[in-house]
A and B are shown apart, each in its own frame.
Chain A
Amino acid sequence: MSVKYIDEYRDGRLAGVFAAQIAEAVHPERAYRFMEFCGGHTHAISRFGIADLLPANVRMIHGPGCPVCVLPVGRIDMAIQLARRPDVTLCTYGDLMRVPGSRGASLLKAKAAGADIRMVYSTLDALRIAEAEPSREVVFFAIGFETTTPPTALAIRRAAARGLANFSVFCNHVLTPSAIRAILESPGEAGGMRVDGFIGPSHVSTVIGTEPYDFAARTFGKPVVVTGFEPVDVMQAILMLIRQLNEGRCEVENQYVRAVTRTGNRIAQAEIAEVFEPRDSFEWRGLGEIPRSGLRLKPAYAAFDAERRFALQGITGRDNPACECGEILRGEKRPADCKLFGTACTPDTPMGACMVSSEGACAAHWTYGRFRDLARRVA
């Protein structure tokens, strides 16, 4: 039985068709380096073994589009501190449980020590808990790019509409275009860590549309192909990027036409605009402070802002000094280049966020692809 709108885009036969097209399209003497920004794409590329289907001169670089990976250590520390309060029930997406904070702390360890931390699949679950347990201060640990931001906005509006006095959000939402700009402006990029083009995120783009990527093409001369989630989508998009480069074009193209439009989801954008405003600056693990890249709750919704409600002080966390998540998030190094990869740092003993999240470059490589390192070394 085939699953509509999923199976067709995973058809192995089409993989072969596109692999052949790509092999034919590439100019043999040139190197093509494409960054897939979104963690979901990193995961798909690893999980379906797409690297095996590309010619040697096409290299995929994993970008920082993994919201768990880019969350700075200090924010995890703040969440742990919040969760330790006896009156607080912290609701979090599962991926965040094992992210290392400072000094090896984590939400999972805090839970083991007695903090009331609950894994939820959706903001709807957190709201339900707040309604069911009025004596608890229920805080939702909100992270993510523009896909998870509208759900958080809706949850806050719903809480406001229902007068839910015990619900608040610890907001760590970040903005995709700002991160892409930061990569393009980073010294590594200028200094030769060359990204030739971007595989643009799928779900984020259903929300923001394709318009916000125009600057990458106009200002920085980098083509962007907004791409669907499935492996055949990725193969088709790679072909589109190769052709752009070969033909000297530099455009934002939409491969994910079945779900993405130029202007995006207006309802979702309106929800975001109603509840959130940009922070002047927000710290990203591995990328440092990026101006206007993060969101906070507007004053009108201050009652639901956990940072204000609990007078949280910012914490400057400490990354493990040997951890090279930063270079990896910027695409300057491969996971296998990090000295800690596979030795001190594994998914069971993660040193940095790239290894904890299933969308992180290191975790994806470890879980699906590390057998290739040995082949490379031998060959």
Chain B
Amino acid sequence: MPESLSRDNHDIHDSQGIHVASRRRALGALAAGIGLIIVRPARATPEDLVLALREAFGDRQIARGRVSLEIPRLAENGNVVPVIVRVESAMTPQDHVTGISLFAEKNQLPRMLDVRLGPYNGKAVVSSRIRVATSQQITAVAQLSDGSLWSASAEIEVVTSDCGL
């Protein structure tokens, strides 16, 4: 059984078997008001992404978890990248996902797609195909009926954007 593609937990172990997920949580370098988006320790959240998140969600906190984002680890040129977003939710009238948004931190326009969901979906699982301009982190943000926001991010390497020059 092949290993799952999903990296919702960033469950990475380095070659010595040391769980590195904890090293990846960097809460420091964020614009004020945007909550707990996990970024790579050596890099700040690109300003364009921060602005896009603020435009979408205002000052609301975005937590980590409940969302699983499945995209390939590599794309040849990034033109057609399959993506599956899954959100843990019973999808009842009292407790369901109301929407999912996808963001690409380094695309010319970070905001890629918004979908609206409700209890009538039964399952909060949505697939699509997206364009990824260059190697970067993709983030999915889900909004629940109680107003809370949850997210997951995943790295994708667009191989042509690394062609040695």
Partners in one complex: no
- List chain A positions with a Cβ less than 8 A from chain B: none
B residues engaging A (CB < 8 A)? none
